[in-house]
Amino acid sequence: MKVRPNMFVVDIGKKMTHYYNTNTKEYGKIEHSDFLGLNIPSILNGDIIVVEAAHLMSQEENSLAQAFKIDELYQLRNLADSKDISIRLFPQKVTPKARKIASLRDEELLEKTDENDVKSIAYYLQEFSNVFSTLKEFVPCTLEEHESKVSHIYDDRDTLTEQSNAARNEGYGIKTDYSDPVKEWIKNYINVLAFRLDNETREWVGLEYKKGGSALLESFQKYTNGKLKFIYGIVLTVLDSETGKPRVRSDNGLPPYWKYAKQVYFGLTPYHMHAGVTASNYKYHKRKAGSSCKKSMSLESKNTIKSIDDVFEIRESMKYSDKQLRNLWREVRKMIVEEGLR
Summarize pLDDT for 23-66 with one digit per residue, the tens. Answer: 999 999 999 999 999 999 999 999 999 999 989 989 877 666 68
Q: Are residues 206 and 299 in the same domain?
A: yes
Q: Same domain for 334 and 258?
A: yes
pLDDT tens digits, one per residue of 160-216: 999 999 999 999 999 899 999 999 999 999 999 999 999 999 999 999 998 877 789
- Domain closes at, from 87, 108, 141: 141
Query: Are residues 160 and 96 both part of a single domain?
Result: no
Residue 37's identity, in one-letter code, is G
- 105 DSSP assignment: T
Helix then strand then coil, % of the chain, to nearest 5? 50, 10, 40
In terms of residue numbers, what domain contains 189? Answer: 150-338
Residues 227-240: pLDDT tens digits?
A: 999 999 999 999 99
pLDDT digit string, tens, across residues 292-334: 777 777 766 777 878 899 888 889 999 999 999 999 999 999 9
Helix axes 308-333, 228-236, angle to 10 degrees: 70
Q: Looking at the structure, tell me whether residues 196 and 99 fall in a common domain.
A: no
Residue 1 included in any domain: no
Strand locations in the chain (E): 7-12, 16-21, 26-31, 48-52, 86-90, 136-137
> Residue 263's closest CA among 251, 253, 276, 250?
276
Q: How far apart are CA 160 and CA 262, in angstroms?
A: 13
Sequence length of the chain is 342
Q: Are residues 241 and 109 in the same domain?
A: no
Q: Are 241 and 167 in contact (CB under 8 A)?
A: yes
What pLDDT band is residue 112 in, cutting at 50, 70 and 90?
A: very high
Q: Where does the pLDDT of residue 4 fall: very low under 50, low under 70, confident under 90, or very high at 90 and above?
A: low
Label residue 1 by pLDDT band (50, 70, 90).
very low
Number of folded domains that form the chain: 2
CA distance 18 to 162: 43
SS (H, E, C) 205-251: HCCCECCCCCCECHHHHCCCCCCHHHHHHHHHCCECCCCCCECCCCC
